[in-house]
Each structure stands twice: as structure tokens, then as C-alpha cells.
Amino acid sequence: MANEKRIPKRSEVPVEETWRLEDLYETPEKWEEEAARLAALPAEISAFAGHLADDAATLLAWFRKNDEVSMALNRFFGYAMKMADTDLGNNTHQARKGKAMGIMVAIESAASFADPELMAIPAETFEAFYAAEPALEQYRRAIDETLRHRAHVLSPAEEKLLAAAGEMAEGPSNIGGIFRNTDLKFPDVIDKDGNAHQVTQGSFIPYMESNDRDLRRRVFESFYHTWASHESLSATILNAHIKQLSFFANARGYNSNLEASLDRTNVPTSVYHNLIETVHKHLPTMHRYMALRKKLLGVDELHMYDLYNTIVADADEVVPYPQAQAAVLEAVAPLGEDYVNVVKEAFANRWIDVRENEGKRSGAYSSGGQWPHPYVLLNHKDTLDSQFTLAHEMGHAMHSYLSMHNQPETYAHYVIFVAEVASTCNEVLMMQNLLSKTTDRTSRAYLINHFLEQFRTTLYRQTMFAEFELKINELSESGETLTAVRLNEIYHELNRQYYGDGMVVDTEIASEWARIPHFFYNFYVFQYATGFSAAVALGRKILAEGEPAVKDYLKFLSAGSSADPISVLKIAGVDMTTPAPVDEALNLFDELITEMEELMN
């Protein structure tokens, strides 16, 4: 009889491995009470319309109301989202999330008058208001940020219309998410011993890490043949998403979807292009790594299903969740006792949802910004990779925690450009800690292999994703419909370019774009690569310089959005407007390949 490892139902997951959402609302009924209260807010908000320029006291009251609403919505929507993400097939959870979205859109629509009104206030009036009401100084940067977008803010009526279209605009992303995580099912794979293996979004990468090459190939084909059988639907959903991006970008007078997306966080488009150009310069190093992987695996051909398994024999290890927690605490110890104590609190008080269950959202994330603390979703698999994922997500959580506790609500939420720095810095600290304790050649090679894979998957692969996203947006903006055939063609060619001629770029990989949810996040993925580059520099700086570097780094983590993201990163000592951080990271990648060659010689 074939054995099958079954994914548990949500009700079967031990309580201690689930997050404690009672910290947000004691019961769903309490959430419903809050929903009723928030549903009345649009009327309160609308009362400010036409009065922001009346006097300093009114303007201050508006911003304080805005903070109050922001804090309430983060908690309110956060609860609904987390409940939904733990079981995407639960209709009650999905209805709650839909209700939360409707209330949020109603509030945003009611508040849509604010930016146009602020735009109309003369500069000298603002200065008079600051003098009359010193408490308004807290909001000066927020006001300046609003005025920075003056050219892209429309009339009050037009802004209200765009805000009302927000819920509809989420349609492609929501449809894609439900399809990928709930409706799409993959055939079981039978291995050479007759054992059945359940293939899911969450189990795919662990299978790709298996040392059973035949199993990897079978899972790879089952997975991507399934994606290919639905690729026309996936292409239609992605095409609709990009069309709505263009609608909003054009309505606001931006030259491109890229410009509109990056302008929200005040990041120059040159940073995006600079990343792609710099990584292209270092593609020969990636090709060299693929040649080393092929040699160490001892295969005649290197396939796409040969990318995730370890190339160091007999060094793979099982990492139980408690061991992963201990490793994270040891890795972040250089950041100080206060930092470590908060991480301990997160582990002890169920800030984390640990295991995969049926219907649970795939992947991992940290949900920060809501009081009393951030939350982390995992799909822990007792692997070294899962250990690093825990470190990564706790980096996000600590960034949120420190920003929330050191900034007023207006600036408590860091922007996405810096979002991946703290998370990846934790991974760098963990890797350096593990390497510092390892003298055994095989163990050291195993760790370096993992570090090399971080470079491949985070810096190179995310840049490839960023280039794909840029290309398809530009094609859509030029009037081309994004068909599955066209998307496959672009994606397959990029894989060939990034991995080189020494890699067999299997035809199945052409459909991989369909499974990547980040293409619905509006030019998000490039920040994984820039964040990784900054994190490599910061991690090495912390370990080399000690307390002074730690002090600057904690200032960065505590800064939130109190300055533009380029300036915030400079607090920690990194300038992402130059190629230097990316060059430095990829030079280290080259050095690690050399050490790997020597260890495995």
C-alpha cells in the first residue's frame, strides 16, 4: 500500500502552533462590533470636507482623526485577512475579509477630498498654521509628501471616483489568489517505491530540495503541466491587473506604470533600471555557479528541477521548529538584549502561525503595523530553508515593532522599498553565525551552498522577475494583449539569459510566471534584490564594527517613514542610488563560489 503524507486540516493543527488573534479581537463578535463602529466613520470623515483650510485647529483635528482611523483599520482588516489566510476555502472567513475591504474602501472614498484640499492651501497658510498650532509640526513631512504628488492629484470628484474604483481594481489580484491557493489542484506523484506524494503550493519547493532526482522531475512536471493547463486563465487575470494599473497611472498623469508605482514611495525609477543593468554585468558569475552545480551534481545535463537540492552530499539536516527558534535567537544576539527579548516574546506568545494546513495561504509573510504587535505566517517544513524563513520574517516583524514603538502613527509604517532590508539582514547574520562555528569542510560547504542559493533566488531571480514585470508592463502600455504564448516566450528567454547556455531551460518553466503572486504587487519584487544587497552590506558592517554599526542599524529600523526611503537607508550607511551595494554583494557571491570550488575539490 502506498504511503501518503497528508496535509492536516486547520482544526487538526495544535493550538500552540497557531497565532493568537485574540490579541486583536477577543472573539469574532467583537470584530463585528468594530465593523459597525467603523461603518459609521465615513460620515465623521466627510464632515471635514471643505474645512481643512479653515484654521490650524481643524487641520490638526483632521490629521489626528486620520491617525485614529489608520490604527483602527490596520487592526480591523488585519484580523479579517489573517483569519482568511489560514483557510482560504472557509466562506465565513472570506466573507469577513470582503466586508472589511468594503468598509475600508468606503472610508477611503469618504477621505478622498483631503489631498485635493491640501493641494489648494497656499504655502504661506501652512506656515501660519504651523506657527499657530505647534502640534501640527508633527505632520509637516506628511503634508510635504502630499504636496509632492500635486501634479498627480485630481479634483475632489475625480478622486472620489478613483477611490470608489479601488475595490473593483482588486478583482484580478483577488481572483488570482483564490485560483492559485484554493481552486488549483495538482495530481499526486508516485515515487519509484510506490509512495504517493501530495503536491501543493507549499510542498513544491521542499520536493525540489529532495535528493531523489526522479521524484524532483516527476513533481516538477506534475506541477508545471497543471499550471500550463490553466495558463490562458492566468494570462487573462494578469493582463487585467496590468490594465487596471495603466488606468490609474494614466488617470494621474504618470508616464508609465513603473513611474506611478515607485513614486508612491519616492524611489527614483533609475534605481530599478540600475539594478537590472548591474545584475546583467554579473550574469557570467551566475553562469559560473551553474557550471559548478552541474559538476558537483555529476549530471550530464542540468535541468530546472536541479536548482534547489543541495549539491553537498550527506549534509542535509532536519531542523525542528524549536531548533530553528534557538538558531534565530543566537543569530540576532549581536543586535542587543532588547531586540532579542522581543523576539523571545513573539515565540512565547503565539505571534506566529507555524505549519501548513489545507487551504492555508502558501509562502510566508509578516503582517506588521497593527497594535499590539506584528504577526508572522509560516509554512514551516523542518528544513534549513525554513529556519532562514523564520529569521527573515522575524526581521520584518522587528522592523514593524520598532517603527511602531518609536514613531507616531503617521510615520510608523515603513515603505516597501526598505521592507526587505531588515528581513534579509537577519538571514545574513544567521549565515555568518553558522559559518563562524563551522570548520568541518562538508558542513561549511553545505552552508555556503545555502548562501549561494540566497544570492541566486533573491538577487538574481528576483531581478529576473523584476525585468519580466517591466517588460510585460511596457508591452501592455504599448497596446499589446498579454497572451499566455507571449508571456511564456518572454519568461523562457529570460531564464535562458540568466542561467546561461550550460542549463537546460525546460519548456515547463515557461509557465512559472503564472504561479508568482508578486506580479500582482505592482513592481514589488525588485526590492527583494535591492534589499538583499543592502542587507549584505549591513550584516557585514554590524559584525565587523559592532556597537556603532548596531546603533545606526537600530535607528534605521526605528525610523519608519520619517524620511524618504533612500535617506532612511543612508542612516544605516547604505546608498542605493549607486551600483555599489549590488556590486559588493555580487562580488561576495563570486568569492563564495571560489571557496565552494576549493572545499569541494
The CA–CA distances, whole Å, from 496 to 189, 217, 461, 474, 501 equal: 27, 19, 12, 21, 7
Residue of 412, 376, 404, 401 whose CA lies nearest to 20: 376
Q: Which residues are part of the catalytic machinery?
A: 393
HEC assignment per residue over 97-117:
HHHHHHHHHHHHHHHHHHHHH
Copy the grid coordinates of residue 34: 468594530
What string of H, E and C letters represents the secondary structure of 364-390?
A: CEEECCCCCCCEEECCCCCCHHHHHHH
d(CA 416, CA 271) in angstroms, rounded, equals 14
Strands 352-353 and 375-377: parallel
Q: Where does residue 267 rank: exposed (0-12), middle (13-18), buried (19+ CB within 10 A)? A: buried
Report angle CA 551, 555, 557 to the nearest 5 degrees.
115
| Residue 49 one-letter amino acid | A
CB 448 within 8 A of CB 471: no
Q: What values do phi and psi take at 184, rounded to 5? A: -80, 125
- The bridge status of strand 302-303 relative to strand 503-504 is parallel
In degrees, rounded to 5, the angle at the alpha carbon of residue 562 between the alpha carbons of residues 559 and 568 is 60
CA distance 125 to 4: 70
Amino acid at residue number 481? T
Say how far apart CA 162 and CA 252 lie, in whole Å. Answer: 10
Closest CA to 80 of 33, 120, 24: 24
How many C-beta atoms lie closer than 10 Å to residue 37's C-beta? 11
Instruction: Concatenate the DSSP letters of all residues of 560-579 into one string.
Output: TTSS-HHHHHHHHT--TTSS
The three cell numbers locating residue 495: 531564464
The angle at the Cα of 399, spanning 398 to 403, to the nearest 5 degrees, equals 110
